[in-house]
Amino acid sequence: MIKGFLFDLDGVIVDTAVFHFQAWRKVAQKLGGDFTEAQNEQLKGISRTDSLKKIIEWTQAEVSVLQFQELQEQKNRWYLDLIGGLGPEDALPGAIEFLRRTYSQGILIALGSASKNAPMVLEKLGVTELFSAVIDGNNVINGKPHPEVFLKGAEALGLEPSECLVFEDSIAGVQAAKQGGMSSVGIGEAETLNANIHFESLGETTPELLAAQF
């Protein structure tokens, strides 16, 4: 029986994925290269450090340890500029309503995001108080597709992995859910994500339907 929902943030609750993409493209261009939207699918859900490693591989740039650190910080400054004016109106269709309904149904809610900026984004959306636990890039050693972020989320809710349902928009995140022994709801393309069930947005379903189905 499902008693808890574990939500990814970027691309599930809020459309910040596009801002990560824009900021990383600026990094790639600074390194004398670029990458495509298709390649960007591989960056979704993975940590800042792992994302930069991939971009360096794609651009074949030579980067010192110091430059690596500076590029990560620069990317984050660009990203923070882009999300400066973020507010509840930037939530993905139906996402805030879905979270509120989940809460009122008594289903426990945790965040399982790779982003170190997650607590600030939740504040900007005005949804922090709906979350019983927030596990993000600051609390894990292993990034997605490792299941650590979701296993810690389940544990923080006092639930078994099998009692939790994961909501994800990334390939790495769906893999993390599977490796953690959890079913997943994919937000995005079924063929790309390969989750247990897929929707374009949370507005297309309800917490009650999903909790009953899994």
Catalytic residue list: 8, 10
- As a whole number of angstroms, the distance between CA 41 and CA 64 comes to 26
Q: How many residues does the chain have?
A: 214
Q: Which stretch binds Mg ion (CB under 5 A): 4-12, 29-37, 51-59, 188-196?
A: 4-12
What is the Rg, in whole angstroms, of the alpha carbon atoms belonging to the chain? 17
Tell whether residue 115 is a contact of ligand B16 (CB under 6 A): yes
Structure tokens at 189: 């393309």
Strands (E), 46-202: 108-112, 133-135, 164-168, 183-187, 197-199
Q: Which amino acid is at 74?
A: Q
Binding mask 170-209 for ligand B16 (x = CB under 6 A): x---------------------------------------
Residue of 2, 4, 5, 10 that binds ligand B16 (CB under 6 A): 10
Residue of 4, 11, 153, 188 that binds ligand B16 (CB under 6 A): 11
Q: Which stretch binds ligand B16 (CB under 6 A): 25-33, 44-52, 54-62, 159-167?
A: 44-52
Residue of 115, 170, 175, 183 that binds Mg ion (CB under 5 A): 170
Supply the DSSP string of 106-152, one letter for each residue.
T-EEEEE-S-TTHHHHHHHHT-GGG-SEEE-TTS-SSPTTSTHHHHH
User: Cβ neighbours of residue 193 under 8 Å, at least 6 residues apart?
Assistant: 168, 169, 170, 171, 174, 186
Window 24 to 43, contacts with ligand B16 (CB under 6 A) = 43
Tell whether residue 96 is a contact of ligand B16 (CB under 6 A): no
Tell whether residue 134 is a contact of ligand B16 (CB under 6 A): no
In the complex, the residues that contact ligand B16 under the rule CB under 6 A are 8-11, 17, 20, 43-48, 51, 76, 113-117, 137, 170
